[in-house]
Structures are given as structure tokens and as C-alpha cells.
């Protein structure tokens, strides 16, 4: 990319939409950086980054949908005065030099919550953060994907054809590496533009609170019953069928972990749900169930059938019950059973939506809809400014969210 670009062309037909024609961004401005695969190369990258200045753009590529976990299989870094760097973490045994140089400067990431766990896994922990996706959301921009922001702010088009490839592949093809390098090519410039827009909109402090909340968020606690997250489980009725879901999910998870493969590549969630609904009485019947016709499903048939058979043989008192709902019931059930809560919800929900529109912030970023629902269902007593603010704070609301929404919520209450 050059420092200056020709003005974007627009449609000359008066009937055509006046949308900019993006310029494809196909090559990093300093050329494709070499892929660093060992400790000596990593130390050189650390020295180059230390010699640069300002924030450091950071990105990762993971093998989501291919491997069991969410480990990083490629790191992309960029800093002014240093250029871009590509690192293969698989071959690195000592991340110490990189940890040292990244400890302090602001990191610039897009949708940081997706990358930070993988970076933390190898010892890289941010102290300061600027999240370009979150910034775009707080600005009320219509599209906040990285490619959309790069096009709307700079007029350049980022190709996304390699976004869902298996990044655990070795060797990594050169087109994939070029794609990855371009993901950090304009992150620092994008940060500068969005920062100015946040300041102009009076939302910079909001963004800083949001960025700090992302950094301070603890790792999610292990779920007591992770199998209950099986997609489509709401279709499964009865303890016996839930036992089949649990048995198959646990068997699949154990096999996936051992093979380091994404669980859905063995059997999809839909197959687990279909087996639970069908309650097959033999391995042959299980094999004819929807979702069990793939090669991975067939090769693990003994495992799947043993899991189903164990679930079918369980005593009734060892089958799992339907989960107890956390929090209030769905608002559609309120008018008959909880009319006062329904009345509060009927005022509070549209008022919150209107406020979000006025502030040009997505309603889910203004305040968690779950928090609004809980407040409408069971507000504190008495419902005054102090008690409602503390209620919001206890449910994870940031101070800017409390300040922005408290008058509207109190009026509704």
C-alpha cells in the first residue's frame, strides 16, 4: 500500500448507488515478511519490535473447526518502524523475548476477545488494548468487521477467502501468509482514525472502559454440564434421551481431545440429537441414524454405540433431569404470571432501544439485554438511583453504561 491513494471512483449513472469502488489490497507495503519458525528468528523479531514505536498491531490465526482447542497457529505483529512479522508458534520453545517487548505497549486487535485467550496460552498478556471492532460498535458504524472497516475508512478491500482454512496445515501456503499479513497491515492506522472519531463523539472514555473490561475479564469458568450446550438439545425431551445426549457428547469429547480434532468433525451435534430422539436399539440402527453416515462416524461406531447402550441401561434415577432455567423466565410468559414485571418490561425494553438509537450504540453494547430483563423482573427494593446502579454493577455493567442508562431505567421503574 502507498501512503496516498487515488480518490475512489463513484458511479456516474445518476440511477446507480453512489458507493465507493474499493481498491484491492493484495500485498503488504514492505512485501511479504518471512515466516519465523524458531527461537533465533523470534528473538530477531523482538529486537525489531523494540526498535519500533507506538502501539503494536496483533492478530492470530487459529484452526477453529479443525483442531480440538483454540490454540494459535500463526501470530501476526506490526509496529511503526518495525514492519510486519509472521511467527509460527508451533516451532517456538522460548517466547520470553516476545513477552518482554509486548509487556507495556498498547496492543491493537480486532475483536480482541477471540484472540486474547490463544495469546495468553503462550504467555502473551496485554496491559493496554485498543479493540477496533468494539470501537466501531460504540461509534454505531453499520458494519464492524475488519474488512468492512478497512473499506469504509480507507477504501481498500481485504480479501477474506482464507478466513476459514485449517491454519494447523504445514507448510503454510504463501497465499495464506499474505492474507494473514494483510490483516495487520492497516490496524494501527484504523486505530488512529477510530480514536479520533471516538473523541469527537464524546465516547472515548466509554471505549477505554470497554477495553479495560475485555482485558480484566477472567477466563470463563468450566461449565458444570458442558454437554447441555449441544446445539438442538431443546428438541430432546425426557431424562432417558438426555442421558443419550450426555453419553455421546462425553464420548465424542474424549475422542476429539485424544485426536486433537474438532468434535464436530467426528459427529455433528445434529447426529447426537437425532440419536437421542431415535433411541436406537442396536449399532446397526445407530448407523442408520441421521449424521452417522460419515467416515469418522463409521470408524468410531463402537464408541458411539457403547455410549448409547450405557445411557439406555442407566437406572432412571441416574438419568439427567431437564436443566433448571437460570434467571427469570422468558418475558412472553410474564403477562399471565407476573403482570407487574410484564408492565415494567413493556416500558423498559422500548425505552432502552430508543436510548440506544439516540446514542448511536447497539443496544447490546449499551446494556446487556439479559441485565435489563433481570431488572424488569426483580428490581431492587427500594428502586432508587443507588440500588439500581449497584444492581447493574453486580451484573457486569460498566460505569459509562450505568451513567447512560440509569435515568431511563429509573423512569421505567
Residue 4 covered by a domain: no
Claim to verify: residue 83 and residue 199 sit in the same structural domain: yes
Claim to verify: residue 290 and residue 339 sit in the same structural domain: no
Residue 324 covered by a domain: no
CA–CA separation, 320 and 236 (whole Å): 12
Residue 363 covered by a domain: yes
Claim to verify: residue 147 and residue 296 sit in the same structural domain: no
Residue 30 covered by a domain: yes
Claim to verify: residue 168 and residue 196 sit in the same structural domain: yes
Claim to verify: residue 299 and residue 342 sit in the same structural domain: no
**pLDDT tens digits in sequence order for the chain, 413 residues long:** 434 333 333 333 444 443 446 899 999 999 999 999 999 999 999 999 999 999 999 999 999 999 999 999 999 999 999 999 999 999 999 999 999 999 999 999 999 999 999 999 999 999 999 999 999 999 999 999 999 999 999 999 998 888 889 999 999 999 999 999 999 999 999 999 999 999 999 999 999 999 999 999 988 888 889 999 999 999 999 999 999 999 999 999 999 999 999 999 999 999 999 999 999 999 999 999 999 988 889 999 999 999 999 999 999 999 999 887 778 999 999 999 999 999 999 999 999 999 999 999 999 999 999 999 999 999 999 999 999 999 999 999 999 999 999 999 999 88
Claim to verify: residue 345 and residue 292 sit in the same structural domain: no
CA–CA separation, 312 and 293 (whole Å): 22
Query: What's the longest Cα–Cα distance across the chain?
Result: 74
pTM score: 0.90
Residue 343 covered by a domain: yes
- Please tell me the total count of domains within the chain: 3
Claim to verify: residue 396 and residue 312 sit in the same structural domain: no
Claim to verify: residue 206 and residue 230 sit in the same structural domain: no
The reported pLDDT for the residue numbered 6 is: 36
Claim to verify: residue 351 and residue 314 sit in the same structural domain: no
Claim to verify: residue 202 and residue 54 sit in the same structural domain: yes
The reported pLDDT for the residue numbered 21 is: 60
Strand pairing report for 156-158 and 83-87: unpaired
Last residue of a domain, one of 216, 240, 272: 216
Peptide bond preceding 171 in cis form (omega within 30 of 0): yes
CATH at 275 = 1.10.150.80
Residue 10 covered by a domain: no
CA–CA separation, 25 and 21 (whole Å): 13
Last residue of a domain, one of 216, 247, 273: 216
CATH at 150 = 3.30.420.10
Claim to verify: residue 195 and residue 61 sit in the same structural domain: yes
Residue 57 covered by a domain: yes
* Structural domain boundaries enclosing 197: 23-216
Residue 9 covered by a domain: no
Last residue of a domain, one of 194, 216, 238: 216
Claim to verify: residue 118 and residue 173 sit in the same structural domain: yes
Amino acid at each position: 500500500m502507498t501512503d496516498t491513494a487515488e480518490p475512489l471512483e463513484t458511479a456516474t449513472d445518476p440511477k446507480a448507488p453512489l458507493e465507493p469502488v474499493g481498491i484491492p489490497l493484495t500485498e503488504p507495503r514492505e512485501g511479504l515478511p518471512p515466516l519465523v519458525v524458531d527461537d533465533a528468528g523470534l528473538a530477531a523479531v523482538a529486537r525489531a519490535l523494540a526498535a519500533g514505536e507506538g502501539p503494536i498491531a496483533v492478530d492470530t490465526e487459529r484452526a477453529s473447526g479443525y483442531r480440538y482447542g483454540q490454540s494459535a497457529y500463526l501470530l501476526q505483529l506490526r509496529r511503526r518502524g518495525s514492519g510486519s512479522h509472521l511467527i509460527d508458534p508451533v516451532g517456538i520453545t522460548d517466547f520470553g523475548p516476545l513477552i518482554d517487548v509486548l509487556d507495556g505497549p498498547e496492543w491493537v486487535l480486532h475483536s480482541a476477545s477471540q484472540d486474547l485467550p490463544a495469546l495468553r496460552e503462550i504467555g502473551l498478556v496485554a496491559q493496554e488494548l485498543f479493540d477496533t471492532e468494539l470501537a466501531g460498535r460504540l461509534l454505531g458504524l453499520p458494519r464492524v468487521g475488519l474488512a468492512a472497516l478497512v473499506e469504509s475508512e480507507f477504501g481498500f478491500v481485504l480479501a477474506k477467502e482464507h478466513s476459514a482454512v485449517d491454519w494447523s496445515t504445514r507448510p503454510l501456503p504463501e497465499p495464506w501468509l499474505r492474507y494473514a499479513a494483510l490483516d495487520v497491515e492497516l490496524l494501527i492506522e484504523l486505530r488512529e482514525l477510530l480514536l479520533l472519531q471516538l473523541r469527537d463523539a464524546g465516547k472515548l472514555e466509554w471505549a477505554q472502559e470497554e477495553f479495560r473490561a475485555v482485558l480484566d475479564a477472567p477466563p470463563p469458568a468450566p461449565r458444570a454440564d458442558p454437554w447441555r450446550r449441544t446445539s438442538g438439545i431443546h428438541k430432546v425431551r425426557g431424562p432417558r434421551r438426555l442421558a443419550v445426549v450426555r453419553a455421546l457428547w462425553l464420548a465424542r469429547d474424549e475422542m476429539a481431545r485424544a485426536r486433537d480434532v474438532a468434535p464436530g468433525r467426528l459427529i455433528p451435534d445434529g447426529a447426537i440429537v437425532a440419536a437421542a430422539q431415535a433411541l436406537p436399539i442396536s449399532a446397526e440402527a445407530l448407523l442408520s441414524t441421521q449424521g452417522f453416515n460419515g467416515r469418522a462416524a463409521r470408524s468410531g461406531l463402537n464408541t458411539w454405540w457403547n455410549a448409547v447402550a450405557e445411557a439406555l441401561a442407566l437406572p432412571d434415577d441416574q438419568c439427567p433431569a431437564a436443566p433448571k432455567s437460570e434467571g427469570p423466565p422468558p418475558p412472553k410468559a410474564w403477562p399471565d404470571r407476573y403482570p407487574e414485571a410484564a408492565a415494567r418490561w413493556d416500558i423498559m425494553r422500548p425505552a432502552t432501544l430508543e436510548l440506544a438509537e439516540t446514542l448511536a450504540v447497539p443496544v447490546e453494547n449499551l446494556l446487556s439485554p439479559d441485565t435489563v430483563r433481570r431488572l424488569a423482573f426483580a428490581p431492587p427494593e427500594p428502586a432508587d438511583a443507588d440500588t439500581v446502579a449497584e444492581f447493574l454493577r453486580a451484573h457486569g455493567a460498566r460505569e459509562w453504561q450505568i451513567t447512560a442508562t440509569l435515568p431511563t431505567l429509573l423512569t421505567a421503574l
